[in-house]
């Protein structure tokens, strides 16, 4: 057994929801259940529900640097050598919508992994106020911690049925920003898709760099899916990002949806735009295929 295999296998502490884990109520309750309190009420008429028929789906727990990190995992049942996709949540954590997105990828043949990247700072699904969530959890979650956790998830995937040469990443809002950053951090990633992730911002100890700061050296192709009506991400910032990308060797590009604002993929929220969400999903699958993930 080589060092990578040994290290990755040592990350895994539990692999089945039926293992009877009673650690902090299974680390804050199982991932992928219910919706985040700050997003209520849910637009139930729009919610997409993807079943688990033909899938292995549920929460695994990786021990990363002494911290148990839950990861929602979905994959075709009994399959190996699968393309891998990291699914990075919004600020609201890994709730039912993110788990459903993972199952959608699994139905397409992927090993989909959605890690709880806020586990050390708190449970965002239980915080009712977005302002409190931003202050008490998001602002205290360092980029360096997130990137290290994702490295560990990738290492586990490589020895747990995933194809080490076919790894992608996608994320929404907060996770869209992380998608850009992780693509720069790990050049072995084949491709990324960033859904309305912030591109610029103030720098501090927890957030030393932003996507615009890494664009010039980015080699992983990233597809940015953004809304023209997004009041939090200006078209000017996208223009600046495009100019920064043009200075480097990558093939990243943007699709701007004129009728959408922020979170247009979030089918459980009033911001959902069905036509653009479906188009973005199709483009995501095509982008991954085009860049050798499948």
294 contacts 165 by C-beta, under 8 angstroms: no
Q: Which helix (H) or strand (E) holds 18?
A: none
**For residue 116, how many C-alpha atoms fall within 13 Å in the half-sphere facing its CB?**
32
Which entry of 230, 265, 267, 276 is annotated as an active-site residue? 230
CA distance 294 to 285: 9
185 has catalytic annotation? no
CB-based contacts of 249, cutoff 8 Å, min separation 6: 219
Which entry of 95, 97, 185, 262 is annotated as an active-site residue? 262
Residue 16: both structure tokens together = 């089945």
Which entry of 173, 185, 265, 276 is annotated as an active-site residue? 173
Question: What is the bridge-based pairing of β-strands 253-257 and 222-227?
Answer: parallel
230 has catalytic annotation? yes
CA distance 63 to 284: 30
Give catalytic residue positions: 173, 230, 262
């Amino acid at each position: 057994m080589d060092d990578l295999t040994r290290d990755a296998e040592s990350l895994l502490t539990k692999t089945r929801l039926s293992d009877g884990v009673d650690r902090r109520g299974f680390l804050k309750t199982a991932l992928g259940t219910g919706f985040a309190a700050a997003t209520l009420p849910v637009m139930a008429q729009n919610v997409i529900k993807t079943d688990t028929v033909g899938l292995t789906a549920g929460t695994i727990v990786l021990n990363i640097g002494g911290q148990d990190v839950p990861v929602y995992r979905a994959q075709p049942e009994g399959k190996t050598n699968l393309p891998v996709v990291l699914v990075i949540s919004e600020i609201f954590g890994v709730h039912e919508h993110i788990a459903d997105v993972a199952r959608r990828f699994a139905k397409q043949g992927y090993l989909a992994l959605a890690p709880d990247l806020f586990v050390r700072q708190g449970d965002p699904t239980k915080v009712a106020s977005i302002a409190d969530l931003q202050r008490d959890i998001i602002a205290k979650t360092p980029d360096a911690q997130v990137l290290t956790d994702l490295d560990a998830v990738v290492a586990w995937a490589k020895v747990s049925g995933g194809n080490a040469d076919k790894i992608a990443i996608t994320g929404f809002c907060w996770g869209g920003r992380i998608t850009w950053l992780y693509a720069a951090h790990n050049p072995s990633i084949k491709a990324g898709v960033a859904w309305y992730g912030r591109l610029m911002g103030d720098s501090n100890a927890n957030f030393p760099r932003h996507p615009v700061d890494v664009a010039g050296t980015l080699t992983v192709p990233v597809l940015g899916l953004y809304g023209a009506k997004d009041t939090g991400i200006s078209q000017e910032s996208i223009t600046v990002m495009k100019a920064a990308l043009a200075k480097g060797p990558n093939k990243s590009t943007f699709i701007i949806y004129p009728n959408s604002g922020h979170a247009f993929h979030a089918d459980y929220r009033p911001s959902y735009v069905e036509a653009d969400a479906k188009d973005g999903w199709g483009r995501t699958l095509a982008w991954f295929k085009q860049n050798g993930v499948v």
